[in-house]
Amino acid sequence: MRLNGWQRLWCVLSVVLAVVIGRDAYLHVPTADKIRRDAALEALRTSPDSPIPPFPDQVAACKRNAGTDIERKKCDPPAPTPEETAAYDREIQIGEDHIKNGLRTEQFQQLAEAGALWLLVVIAIYAAGWTVGWVFRGFRTPRSHPDTPE
C-alpha cells in the first residue's frame, strides 16, 4: 500500500502529537516525590495559626540586617507547637498512604488518558482530512478519455 501526500502528512502529525502529548503526560505523571512534596506543602498550609516558616536565605538576610543580638533572635522562626507537629505528621502520613495504596494505579490511569487523547486526536485529524478530500473530489469535473464520444 502506497501512501499519498496527505496520508504521509497525517503520519508525521501523528508522531509529532505523540511526542507532545507524551512529554506532557510524562511531566504530569504523579511520582512519590511529587506526592511527598505536595503533602508537606499541604501540611504547612493547613497547620493552625502558623505561617509558613521563612526560607533560610530570608533568615540569613534578617540576621545580617539586625543590629543587636535581640534583633537577631527575632529573625529565628518560632518552634512549632505539638499540635502543629501532629497536624504536619498526619498530612505526611496521608501522602505516604497514597503512595503505598494508589500510586501505580494513578500513574497508569494518567498514561492511559494520554494515550486515549492521542488516539482520538489522530483519528479526528484523519477523519477531517478524508472528509475534506471527499468534498474536494465532489467538485472535480470528470476527466474525459479520448476514446469516449462527447
| In a domain? residue 149 | no
pLDDT at res. 115: 95
Confidence of residue 144 (pLDDT cuts 50, 70, 90): low
More confident call, 42 vs 139? 139
CA-closest candidate to residue 118, choices 45, 8, 26: 26
| In a domain? residue 144 | no
| In a domain? residue 132 | yes
**pLDDT over 90 at 55, yes or no:** no
| In a domain? residue 142 | no
Which domain range does residue 66 map to?
Answer: 5-137
| In a domain? residue 146 | no
Summarised one tens digit per residue, pLDDT across range 86-127 is 777 777 787 788 777 888 888 899 999 999 999 999 999 999
Structural domains of the chain, count:
1
Flag the least confident range among 37-41, 51-55, 59-63, 137-141.
Answer: 51-55
CA distance readout (Å), 92 to 36, 40, 46, 50, 52: 7, 6, 12, 17, 16
pLDDT at res. 52: 54
| In a domain? residue 143 | no
Find all residues with CB under 8 Å of 87, minimum gap 6, and list them.
Answer: 43, 46, 47, 48
| In a domain? residue 145 | no
Which cell goes with 90?
A: 498526619
